[in-house]
């Protein structure tokens, strides 16, 4: 008997989908927004992105080395976290603060809870919230696009701040919102780029439509009910970025389609509550984080029922 | 409600290759267990002269099957071998004389009633040829015939590569319908549904044209989605009935029969030749020319591949059946069995498996399970040894189709863990029962 044959339990082949190529798809989907941010805010935005991505990768590598865990840098998930965090920062953010935020995202929010797939909260969002609390000044130092040189940067209000304060002269047009010609975080201003990325992810089957549609529809509907401009609310702030890229994170959101719908509606409601009645002008980050915390319960509530059947003739 | 599944590559390279009858090999090794149930009792001894179709193993016990010589020649030895399922079984090794003379006692059966019909099916040695190998006469021994509402003919053939059922429909379509007439006559069944995946256009057309001439036969074209040919999946998708957990199709008034099994029954009632040969798809990345070969049962894989034109590269993994649920055999000396519908020979590259990485909680496994199980939670419960959780998660419902492992981007061994978890659950339930009995005393 020749023993050269491999013996293993079925199945004997698997789909081509791997964690790595899912993450690669997400990175590709984030590219339009990255390019848009450089076009809108200038080269410094590239610097912020590179700093965040590099710090995330290095933190992951070193922390796993330190804990003698298997190295997971090659699954590319830390790059996604880095990109998303950078997209949630203003272009004028000091480099050391971006480094700090990236380390928080990877080490505190992701690795301390067990690494990829084990974290209960979205690393980029949680890190952003921590940075907003720690560096409230620099984190809200919005720069109007076109004033590329940071030395003479002109502080500006984001569309949501403008709307909240009622300074109508600062409110950009729909076209400006779509193209991203307004103040805001790096990756969130250009709605068109994010929508493009979202369509790519849907086509590639990386995300399902349930969460983004439920999230955005809830915000739009509630805006209409509250007598606000629905389209304006949808296109401004971090809503699209959050709905497409952050509320669809696998580990921190429910896996079933009804779970995703509930998650999206919950995010939408909290966003509206904060935007219209809270002290903060923007609520997407908090809404996703709060719904992340509810995820285990939503998952349990909406889990699939095994097809047990009953005898009947 | 739609049952989930996965889109596997079809790779039906041999769909147009009519089965080629191979010349009998010099030696055949016929195991006495090619079916679910008790191994057959050997009734020949070393030195006996046998003819093709002569009984060499007698069904032993209620769930067992007759076994016949597939060649004419001399019994070289009566031995013991390790079957592909890991059990030691007796086997008969026969040296062929190359003449393939048929046994004189062969004659077409003409049963007068239900009992003699079952006896004839038992005599033929036929078992479920779709892969399970359950003795057909046991399945057809329905106590209350009025319970049968539908007979579902399984012609889905959802596994990649395999085309032997397709060839049955193309080459032996008339026998399929002869089989239907026989089942109609003796089991008093009225409604037949032939379930075929939509990637077999020619077979669908052939079945449809034949169905027009027969009353009560419907050809149900199904989407090509694995595991369409799983018994419960097929019954749900054709007659919209859910077979209960731990139950049989008959519990919902259905009998499921594989199309090749049915064609065999049709042919047997015309010719009387028992199950001694099988159409086998020989394919895989290491095979030079993929083909369908009609081989005597007991032919070694080595001889089978030789007859198909040989290999083009070193074999790394050899399977009985398709890549989704097939069994990897330890050597090329293993024989073709009654329920072997394909032999897939993979080269090193195809056999290579991706490295397992951490679960990313994407939910693909639970969103693709046909029975809506949760392989991720099952794996967790199994790791913790939590029998109660496994019971709640209904792991015993798992049919081991492998959709979860196929779709998992982290390449985690999910269905493999399910199989272990099923054993764990059985142990746990037995423990519980024992404890309850103790308390009762």
Q: State how far the Cα of A135 lies from the Cα of A149, in Å rounded to an integer.
A: 22
Residue A312 lies in a domain: no
Global confidence as pTM: 0.92
Residue A2 lies in a domain: no
Residues of A in contact with B370 (CB under 8 A): 307
pLDDT (tens digit per residue) in B86-132:
789 999 999 999 999 999 999 999 999 999 999 999 999 999 998 78
- Tell me, what CATH number does A132's domain have? 1.10.3430
pLDDT of residue B135: 95
**Has residue A7 got a pLDDT over 50?**
yes
Residue A6 lies in a domain: no
**Has residue A143 got a pLDDT over 80?**
no
pLDDT of residue A149: 45
- For residue A31, the Cα-to-chain-centroid distance in whole angstroms is 14
CA distance B327 to chain A (A): 7
pLDDT (tens digit per residue) in B45-97:
999 999 999 999 999 989 999 999 999 999 999 999 988 777 899 999 999 99
Strand order in the sheet with B327-328: B20-21, B291-296, B277-283, B342-346, B317-320, B327-328
Q: State how far the Cα of A283 lies from the Cα of A275, in Å rounded to an integer.
A: 6
What 3-state class would DSSP assign to B73? strand
Residues of B in contact with A300 (CB under 8 A): none
pLDDT of residue B412: 96
Residue A75's Cβ-side half-sphere holds a number of Cα atoms within 13 Å equal to 23
Residue A208 lies in a domain: yes
Q: Does domain B114-271 have CATH number 3.40.50.11540?
A: yes
pLDDT of residue B139: 94
The alpha carbon torsion through A54, A59, A61, A64 (nearest 10 deg) reads -160
Cβ pair B409:A18 closer than 8 A: yes
Q: How many domains does chain A have?
A: 1
Q: Are strands B88-96 and B73-82 parallel, antiparallel or unpaired?
A: antiparallel
Residues of B in contact with A308 (CB under 8 A): 242, 244-245, 394, 397
pLDDT of residue B92: 96
pLDDT (tens digit per residue) in A160-196:
777 666 666 567 788 888 888 888 888 888 999 999 9
Using an 8 Å Cβ cutoff, are A188 and A237 in contact? yes
pLDDT of residue A151: 42
pLDDT of residue A146: 58
Best residue of B243, B247, B360, B374 to probe chain A, by most A CBs closer than 10 Å: B360
Best residue of B349, B395, B409, B411 to probe chain A, by most A CBs closer than 10 Å: B409
pLDDT (tens digit per residue) in A41-96:
999 999 999 999 999 999 999 999 999 999 999 999 999 999 999 999 999 999 99
Residue A53 structural domain: 19-301
Query: In this predicted complex, what is the ipTM?
Result: 0.89
Mean pLDDT score, B247-255:
94
Residue A11 lies in a domain: no
Cβ pair B406:A15 closer than 8 A: yes
Residue A9 lies in a domain: no
Sequence ranges of the domains in chain B:
114-271, 364-440
Indicate the average pLDDT of chain B: 94
Residue A275 lies in a domain: yes
Q: State how far the Cα of A282 lies from the Cα of A312, in Å rounded to an integer.
A: 56
pLDDT (tens digit per residue) in A257-299:
999 999 999 999 999 999 999 888 788 999 999 999 999 999 9
Tell me how many degrees the CA angle B395-B240-B205 measures, rounded to the nearest 5: 115
Residue B367's Cβ-side half-sphere holds a number of Cα atoms within 13 Å equal to 19
- On the question of a cis peptide bond just before residue B410, with omega within 30 degrees of 0, the verdict is no
pLDDT of residue A1: 44
Q: State how far the Cα of B26 lies from the Cα of B97, in Å rounded to an integer.
A: 8
B323 closest CB neighbour out of A12, A254, A312:
A12
Q: State how far the Cα of A171 lies from the Cα of A188, in Å rounded to an integer.
A: 16
Strand partners of residue B49:
B74
B330 closest CB neighbour out of A7, A9, A115:
A7
Residues of A in contact with B326 (CB under 8 A): 10, 12
Beta strands in B298-429 (DSSP E): 317-320, 327-328, 342-346
Residue A313 lies in a domain: no
Work out the burial of residue B143: count CB atoms within 10 Å of its CB; fewer than 13 is exposed, 13-18 middle, 19 or more buried: exposed
Q: State how far the Cα of A123 lies from the Cα of A121, in Å rounded to an integer.
A: 6
pLDDT (tens digit per residue) in B137-190:
999 999 999 999 999 999 999 999 999 999 999 999 999 999 999 999 999 999
C-alpha torsion sign, points A45, A47, A50, A56: negative
């Amino acid at each position: 008997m020749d023993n050269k044959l491999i013996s293993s339990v079925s199945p004997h082949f698997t789909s081509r989908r791997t964690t790595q190529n899912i993450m690669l798809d997400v990175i590709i989907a984030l590219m339009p927004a990255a390019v848009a941010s450089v076009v809108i805010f200038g080269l410094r935005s590239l610097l912020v992105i590179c700093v965040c991505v590099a710090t995330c990768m290095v933190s992951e590598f070193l922390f796993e080395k330190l804990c003698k865990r298997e190295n997971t840098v090659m699954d590319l998930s830390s790059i996604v976290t880095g990109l998303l965090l950078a997209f949630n920062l203003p272009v004028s953010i000091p480099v050391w603060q971006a480094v700090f935020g990236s380390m928080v995202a990877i080490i505190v929010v992701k690795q301390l809870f067990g690494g990829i797939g084990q974290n209960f909260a979205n690393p980029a969002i949680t890190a952003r919230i921590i940075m907003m609390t720690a560096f409230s000044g620099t984190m809200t130092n919005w720069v109007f696009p076109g004033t590329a040189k940071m030395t003479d940067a002109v502080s500006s209000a984001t569309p949501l701040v403008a709307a909240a304060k009622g300074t109508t002269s600062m409110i950009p047009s729909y076209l400006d919102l779509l193209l991203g010609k307004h103040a805001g975080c790096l990756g969130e201003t250009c709605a068109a780029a994010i929508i493009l990325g979202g369509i790519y992810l849907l086509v590639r089957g990386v995300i399902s439509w349930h969460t983004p549609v439920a999230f955005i529809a809830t915000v739009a509907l509630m805006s209409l009910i509250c007598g606000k401009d629905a389209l304006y609310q949808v296109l401004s702030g971090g809503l699209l970025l959050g709905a497409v890229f952050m509320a669809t994170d696998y580990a921190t959101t429910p896996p079933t389609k009804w779970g995703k719908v509930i998650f999206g509606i919950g995010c939408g409601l909290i966003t509206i509550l904060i935007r219209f009645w809270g002290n903060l002008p923007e609520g997407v980050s908090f809404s996703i984080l709060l719904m992340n915390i509810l995820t285990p319960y939503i998952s349990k509530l909406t889990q699939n029922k095994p097809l047990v059947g009953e005898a009947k003739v | 409600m739609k049952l989930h599944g996965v889109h596997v590559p079809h790779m039906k390279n041999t769909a147009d290759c009519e089965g080629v009858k191979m010349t009998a090999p010099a030696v055949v090794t016929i195991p006495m267990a090619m079916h679910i149930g008790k191994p057959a009792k050997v009734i020949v001894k070393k030195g006996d002269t046998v003819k093709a179709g002569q009984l060499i193993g007698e069904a032993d016990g209620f769930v067992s099957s007759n076994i016949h010589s597939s060649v004419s020649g001399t019994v070289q030895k009566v031995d013991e071998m390790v079957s592909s399922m890991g059990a030691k079984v007796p086997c008969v090794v026969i040296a062929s004389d190359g003449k393939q003379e048929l046994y004189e006692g062969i004659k077409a059966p003409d049963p007068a009633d239900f009992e003699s019909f079952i006896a004839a099916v038992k005599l033929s040695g036929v078992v479920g040829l779709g892969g399970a190998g359950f003795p057909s006469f046991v399945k057809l021994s329905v106590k209350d015939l009025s319970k049968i509402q539908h007979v579902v003919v399984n012609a889905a053939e959802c596994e990649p590569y395999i085309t032997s059922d397709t060839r049955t429909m193309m080459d032996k379509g008339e026998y399929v319908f002869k089989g239907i007439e026989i089942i109609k006559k003796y089991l008093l069944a009225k409604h037949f549904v032939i379930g075929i995946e939509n990637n077999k256009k020619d077979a669908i057309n052939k079945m449809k044209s034949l169905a027009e001439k027969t009353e009560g036969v419907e050809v149900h074209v199904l989407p090509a989605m694995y595991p369409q040919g799983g018994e419960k999946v097929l019954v749900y998708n054709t007659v919209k009935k859910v077979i209960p957990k731990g139950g049989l199709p008959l519990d919902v008034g259905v009998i499921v029969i594989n199309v090749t099994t049915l064609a065999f029954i049709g042919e047997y009632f015309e010719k009387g030749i028992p199950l001694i040969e099988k159409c086998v798809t020989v394919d895989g990345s290491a095979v030079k020319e993929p083909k369908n070969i009609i081989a005597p049962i007991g032919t070694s894989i080595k001889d089978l591949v030789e007859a198909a034109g040989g290999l083009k590269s070193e074999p790394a993994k050899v399977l009985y059946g398709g890549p989704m649920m097939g069994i990897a055999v330890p050597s090329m000396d293993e024989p073709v069995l009654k329920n072997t519908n394909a032999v897939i020979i993979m080269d090193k590259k195809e056999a290579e498996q991706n490295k397992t990485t951490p679960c990313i909680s994407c939910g693909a496994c639970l969103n693709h399970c046909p029975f809506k199980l949760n392989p991720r939670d099952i794996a967790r419960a199994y790791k913790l040894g939590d029998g109660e959780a496994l019971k709640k998660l209904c792991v015993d419902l798992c049919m081991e189709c492998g959709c979860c492992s196929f779709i998992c981007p982290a390449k985690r061994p999910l269905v493999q863990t399910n199989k272990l978890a099923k054993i764990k659950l059985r142990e746990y339930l037995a423990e519980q029962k024992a404890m309850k009995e103790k308390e009762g005393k």
